[in-house]
Amino acid sequence: MDLKEKTAIVTGSTKGIGEAIAHELARQGATVVVSGRNAERAEAVCAQIRAAGGIATPVIADVALADDAKRLIDETVAAHGRVDILVNNAGITRDGLLMRMSEADWDAVIDINLKGAFNCIKAVTRQMMKQRYGRIVNITSVVGLMGNAGQVNYAASKAGLLGITKSVARELASRNITCNAIAPGFIETDMTDVLDEKARESLLTQIPLGRLGQGDDVARAVAFLCGENAGYITGQVLNVDGGMVMQ
Q: Would you please indicate which residues are annotated as catalytic (active-site) residues?
A: 154
Q: How far is CA 188 from CA 44, 184, 211, in A?
A: 20, 11, 10
CA angle 125, 129, 135 (to 5 degrees): 70
Partners of 57 in the beta sheet?
33
Report the Cα–Cα distance between both ends of the chain, in Å, rounded.
33
Four-residue CA torsion sign, 220, 172, 112, 181: negative
What sections of the chain are H helices per DSSP? Answer: 16-27, 39-51, 66-80, 103-109, 116-131, 142-146, 152-172, 190-193, 197-204, 215-226
- How many H-runs (helices) and E-runs (strands) does the chain carry? 10, 7
Which amino acid, one-letter code, is at 244? M
